[in-house]
A = this chain, B = another copy of it.
Amino acid sequence: MDKVKIDNNVFIPMPVTLVGCLLKGKANFMTAGWVSRVNANPPHIGIGIHRSHATPEGIIENNTFSVCFPDRASILRVDYCGIVSGKDTDKSKLFTSFYGELKTAPMIEEASLNLECSLVQTIDGASNYFFIGEIKGAYASPECHENGRINPKKADFLLLTMPDNTYWTLGESIGQAWRMGKQLVNK
């Protein structure tokens, strides 16, 4: 085996998101990358948040949260949201917030895509909460949306890798999923 064994605490490529919640009645956003869909129908999404953050308090109090996908124009503010805590910093004026039907899941006008979620289940990990929410509303910017679909390049989705702590844009398309591999079928 031609492999090097590295530390088990491996970070994987992550989407750059801002998780929104209400904290003491005000909109709060924290940068988060531990995000994945967890169930198809109903549409559930999960977010892993370290217990030390302010955000779990707001999510548990209101049973709602948002997951917002910013573009590169917001990257300074996005990174700022990962540096300062809602425990001692008011981040409510950093972006133009809006609310959907849930009323307590603040979302971001400047973000390409916003999901408002109602809390369904909380996995109580040793160091992190993993909050699973049902997506109750999805709001896209008109300019990154075509025929009901998000165009990922126009949405300008961002990625984060660690421990090099680098923000990345999407690169080049290298092919179509569920299509290009067909040439290997029955070979």
Q: Which partner residue on chain B sits nearest A149 by CB separation?
A: B163
Q: Could you tell me the distance between the alpha carbons of A174 and B158 in the complex, rounded to whole angstroms? A: 9
- Out of B5, B48, B138, B171, name the residue touching A36 (CB < 8 Å): B48
- Tell whether, in the assembled complex, residue B13 and residue A170 are in contact, meaning their CB atoms are under 8 Å apart: yes
- Out of B2, B37, B142, B163, name the residue touching A34 (CB < 8 Å): B37
User: Interface 1/0s, chain A 1-38, versus B by CB < 8 A?
Assistant: 11111111111111101000000000000010011111
- Tell whether, in the assembled complex, residue A6 and residue B148 are in contact, meaning their CB atoms are under 8 Å apart: yes
Nearest CB of B to A116, in Å: 9
Number of A interface residues at 8 Å Cβ cutoff, please give it: 101
User: Interface 1/0s, chain A 114-147, versus B by CB < 8 A?
Assistant: 1100000101011110101001111111100100
- Tell whether, in the assembled complex, residue A38 and residue B137 are in contact, meaning their CB atoms are under 8 Å apart: no
Residues of B near A1 (CB, < 8 A) are: 98, 109, 139
Interface centre among A17, A39, A158, A163 (most CB of B within 10 A): A39
- Tell whether, in the assembled complex, residue A8 and residue B77 are in contact, meaning their CB atoms are under 8 Å apart: no
- Tell whether, in the assembled complex, residue B168 and residue A172 are in contact, meaning their CB atoms are under 8 Å apart: yes
Residues of B near A35 (CB, < 8 A) are: 12, 36
Residues of B near A15 (CB, < 8 A) are: 12-14
- Tell whether, in the assembled complex, residue B75 and residue A174 are in contact, meaning their CB atoms are under 8 Å apart: yes
Q: Given A3-B140, A185-B80, does the pair A39, B177 have CB atoms closer than 8 Å?
A: no
